[in-house]
Chain A
Amino acid sequence: MNRLREKFAELKSSGGKALVFYLMAGDPDIPTTLDIIKGLDESGVDAIELGIPFSDPMADGPSIQAAAHRALGKGMTVRKCLDLVRSVREFSSIPIVLMTYFNPILHYGIERFAKDAVDAGADATILTDLSPEEAKDWVSASKRNDLGTIFLVAPTSTNERIKRAGDISTGFVYCVSRTGVTGAQSDTPTDLPTLVNRVKSMVGAPVCVGFGISEPRHVEEITRYADGAVVGSALVNLITKHQGSEKLIGEVKKYAMAMKNATRHDETPPRT
């Protein structure tokens, strides 16, 4: 069974909330990416979004743009990203969602990518610029290969579009917290609870919120009404800050544990 669905089923039965971390594959290099994923897994992170770098990331802010640029500069390719997933599977069964733009997948071949991704050990994909209208072939190819598909909903989405995204999302629905590109922000938008509750009332799948989440207090707040939180640019920034230093993995783990602790607020008292 798909590791991502299993993870959310497990969280549901235990009343837990998901913490998902995004990082760019191959930034700063493949061995470091593997070490970071190991560290995140050991810190109780529930799932990984692994970015496959694309040359023109139009929905990403400066942090992830720069990470993609660095990864491509180091010779990262789609094939190497899949190999990286395969290497993770040697030490971890943490759910992995591949996140990228549509062109690298289209160019690789839709059917071939869906098959190779599952063979490598990936559980789902998020393709930022693949709108549901254009996703028919991709959704069928993913279904045939038991690869999950996750679609995004945004503050501007109509109810009809939210339902449609829910219908073709497996694993979870990714709720974008604000209009804008990816990037750490200091506050969560005030209308976010309304948006999340609207989305939850319309889709069956769990709803995770991303874009702008960087601090434990954001996670603490968001996981009160959403099923999970996704952290991207903040981790990418942390990796950039400590890259090449021995402290990197320790800092990543410290941050991940603090963020995961922030998801545990209902029944379980915070652990340190």
Chain B
Amino acid sequence: MMRTPTRGIRILGVGLEIAVPIGALALWAALTRDGSSFYFPPLLDIFRTFQETWLFAGMGTDVVPSLSRLLSGYAIAVVAGVVVGVALGSSHPLRRMVDPVVQFLRAIPPPVLIPAGILVLGVNSTMKVALIAFVCLWPILLNTIDGVGGVDPTLRETARSFQIPRRDRLFRVVLPSAAPQIFAGARVSLALAVIMMVVSEMVASTNGIGYFVLQSQRTYAITEMWSGILLLAILGYVLNALFLLVERRALRWHRGARTGSA
């Protein structure tokens, strides 16, 4: 809806894009400098604590356990979701049968499963990995089923008319065609994985970043708490950025095809 901005405005825009975040940080630092607010310690103190706590002392005790739970649970969900989704998505009656079940399981707000996880598996890493995998499974499964069920009939018929073997039909026709939807599901799941990692550590753990953050708050180590929040923010950002990188590479054709055919 915008009129195309002129060159001068565009340069000003890029300047703002860089200057505003720096300005915001500077403002935050200036406002908190005198340390008068108990809840908002000086920004520079947060940075200093961040460095002392995480680079690299807390890496082994908290970051590595957190991340390894997250990644193993997520990986299990991706593999299981795609495999089961392809199997279910290829059959119309099966698709209709599992739909309400998957819709329901997906609709459960993930953290409420943590008490059940504690009960069934105890307070340990296996429980957290299992819960992350369970929660991440449904969006991927649902989107894979939809994606596989929605492969363009002309693409399918072309493959059949050229007698493309089953294996190739699966890996070079069905999966690529469903890939945009599978990735969309995987992206939702990644956000859920981070939530589950943090919350399960807050509720039932003796290590991990979530545990650290809540424990800091409970002992009124406010600067430490902020440094943990900052770490989670950076983790969330980096994970998302990595995901986008992979997606962009894998779906290069998709972006082109959409703009190209318009």
Whether A associates with B in a native complex is no
Chain B residues with CB under 8 Å of chain A are: none
Chain A residues with CB under 8 Å of chain B are: none
